[in-house]
Amino acid sequence: MSDVLDRINADKRALVAARKAARPLSSVEEAARAADPVRGFVRALGAAVESGRYGLIAEIKKASPSKGLIRADFDPPALARAYREGGATCLSVLTDEPYFQGRDEYLVAARAAVDLPVLRKDFMVDPYQIVEARALGADCILIIMASLSDAQAAEIEDAAIAQGLDVLVEVHDRAELDRALLLRTPLLGVNNRNLKTLAVDIATTEELARNVPADRMLVAESGLYTPADLSRMAAVGARCFLVGESLMRQADVTAATRALLTRE
Ligand SMILES: O=P(O)(O)OC[C@@H](O)[C@@H](O)c1c[nH]c2ccccc12
């Protein structure tokens, strides 16, 4: 019954309840109003694709539930600069602590180091986290359809829109895709990793791509290692990619990012 995602979401709800008790929404809202202007996340990806390039969302990820520690030498501002130098379009920064060893401060530090738009990569279960994301300086938030009901997803998207944030909605199967299309965001991610079992299969994007309407921007997520992997995703219509581990494992992140983006 209790898969990985159920556990993560239950823990997240408890964590958010504690955060709410420690800091009232009104205080976070005040910080959100004072935050740096939003950088257009969807706009940056659209511009990359428009100019014939891939849109790369490069992820700053220290550890994961499936792999444990991914990168020991973990310096978010240095990684942000390396990704930018290598040609990334946007950044994704894990802020989930219990499962990914992320931190809110990593997002703040990474964003301050570059001019790229930044996704707060976390498990959003409550609109409070969206206001938090804005207060931290995030430009985009993640909605995982497997974690939320239609009503919860819509509530979180509304909160993001109210804060001026972009939304990446993530799906893993046909039913989730159909539900995601009820949302307004143009940014549609297909996660090649099943968050319930943590198994990865990049055929997932190939299978779902044909059902993604032309007015959505398809992002292929997870399990992407080589230019050939990106070409395979591009062949079914993906021009944007979310990549973490394969770049995080390299000593020279700039060179690895450049190499990944090399078109065959
Ligand atoms: O490290 P990878 O296999 O390149 O995957 C990156 C990203 O897609 C993955 O971290 C991810 C996708 N959806 C998520 C939701 C929560 C946490 C993490 C994720």
Contact status, residue 129 vs residue 148, Cβ threshold 8 Å: no
CB-ligand 1 contact for 191 (6 Å cutoff): yes
114-142 pLDDT tens trace: 999 999 999 999 999 999 999 999 999 99
CA pair distance 137, 160, nearest whole angstrom: 13
**Ligand 1 centre distance from Cα of residue 245 (Å):** 8
- Percent with pLDDT over 70 in the chain: 99
Q: Is 2 exposed, middle or buried (0-12, 13-18, 19+ CB in 10 A)?
A: exposed
Per CATH, is 4-260 categorized as 3.20.20.70?
A: yes
Give the DSSP H or E segment for 93. strand 90-94
Please tell me the residue having the least CA distance from ligand 1 atom 8. 222
Q: What does the pLDDT read at residue 2?
A: 67
CB-ligand 1 contact for 222 (6 Å cutoff): yes
CB-ligand 1 contact for 170 (6 Å cutoff): yes
Q: Which of 78, 85, 99 is nearest to 15 (CA)?
A: 99
Taking residues 66-74, report their average pLDDT. Answer: 96
197-250 pLDDT tens trace: 999 999 999 999 999 999 999 999 999 999 999 999 999 999 999 999 999 999
For the chain, the maximum distance between any two Cα atoms, rounded to a whole number of angstroms, is 52
**Is 75 a residue whose pLDDT tops 60?**
yes
- Could you tell me the pLDDT band of residue 263, with boundaries at 50, 70 and 90? confident
In single-letter form, the type of residue at position 212 comes to: V
Q: Please state, as a whole number, how many other Cβ atoms lie within 10 Å of the Cβ of residue 54.
A: 21
**Ligand 1 centre distance from Cα of residue 85 (Å):** 22
Taking residues 8-18, report their average pLDDT. Answer: 97
Q: CA distances (Å), 173 to each of 65, 106, 194, 207, in order?
A: 21, 31, 9, 9
Crossing angle for the helix pair 253-260 and 227-234, nearest 10 degrees? 40
CA pair distance 226, 234, nearest whole angstrom: 13
- Percent with pLDDT over 90 in the chain: 97
Q: Residue 133 phi/psi, 5° resolution?
A: -60, -45
| Terminal CA-CA length for the chain | 44
Query: How large is the ipTM?
Result: 0.98
